[in-house]
Amino acid sequence: MEFFFAFGFWFLPSFFCVFVSAGEPADIQNNGDSIKSGLRPPENLPDRPDIDPFAEAVSVYFSASELYNIFESTRPERILTNLLRNGFYRQEILMMIEISSAAGKSFADMAEARQRGMSFEKMAKSYKLDLMEIFQNSAKTKKDMEAVFPYDVDFSTDSLQSCATCQNE
């Protein structure tokens, strides 16, 4: 018993000091200043641009006033990039732009309806538009954009190689 008290009084304070100093403060972990922060290190982040090249091509192809009327924003590239990264197809986006422009409705309404599962056929009928004409116009727009803008550059390679690919086309 004497051994326990003698050892315990010496051991407990030193154990407490080691225990307290061993852990990292919570704010370091939350701010990403530690290996254990839960955030991926920069070398593991995907090598892709902030704005999708197709979204930039759309903003250059259409007039600024038309895009402002449809998107109700001066930066439609961010909206389009989010949709592209969430699974929307390029043709689908161009069809929604076409419907928005023809019907005088906002693009956000079209995107929300598509996310809820509304078909293009129902959209076209609700705004009294011809779906085949919309499809043909958006296909023509996509073909024109592909001819003018090199937005199909592979961004998974390093940036110098991607730039060389853009300039050689």
Q: Does 65 lie in the same domain as 6?
A: no
Q: Clarify whether residues 21 and 59 are in a common domain.
A: no
Pair 28, 95 in one domain? no
What pLDDT band is residue 93 in, cutting at 50, 70 and 90? very high
Domain annotation covers residue 86: yes
Cβ-contact 124, 102 below 8 angstroms = no
Q: Are 100 and 107 in contact (CB under 8 A)?
A: yes
Kindly indicate the confidence band of residue 53, based on its pLDDT and cuts at 50, 70 and 90.
Answer: confident
State pLDDT tens for residues 114-142.
999 999 999 999 999 999 999 999 999 99
Residues 57 and 97 in one domain: yes
Say what the pLDDT of residue 89 is.
92
Specify if 152 maps to a domain.
Answer: yes
Asked whether residue 153 is domain-assigned, the answer is yes
Rg (CA), the chain: 28
Rounded to a whole number, what is the largest CA-CA distance in the chain? Answer: 95
- Has this prediction a pTM greater than 0.75? no
Size of the chain, expressed as the number of residues it contains: 169
Q: Are residues 17 and 87 in the same domain?
A: no
133 is in which domain, residue-wise?
A: 53-168
pLDDT at 90: 92
Residue 164 in domain? yes
Write down the pLDDT at residue 148.
81
Which amino acid would we find at residue 162?
A: S
Mean pLDDT of the chain: 75
Supply the pLDDT for residue 155: 40
Same domain flag for 74 and 15: no
- Is there a contact between 73 and 107 (Cβ–Cβ < 8 Å)? no
The pLDDT-based confidence of 167 (bands split at 50, 70, 90) is: very low
Domain count, the chain: 2
CA distances from 46 to 37, 57, 120, 155 (A): 18, 22, 33, 10
Alpha helices in 23-130 (DSSP H): 26-31, 53-61, 64-71, 76-85, 90-103, 107-115, 120-126
User: Is 48 contained in some domain?
Assistant: no
- Domain assignment present for residue 15? The answer is yes
Does residue 58 share a domain with residue 119?
Answer: yes
Whether residues 7 and 84 fall in one domain: no
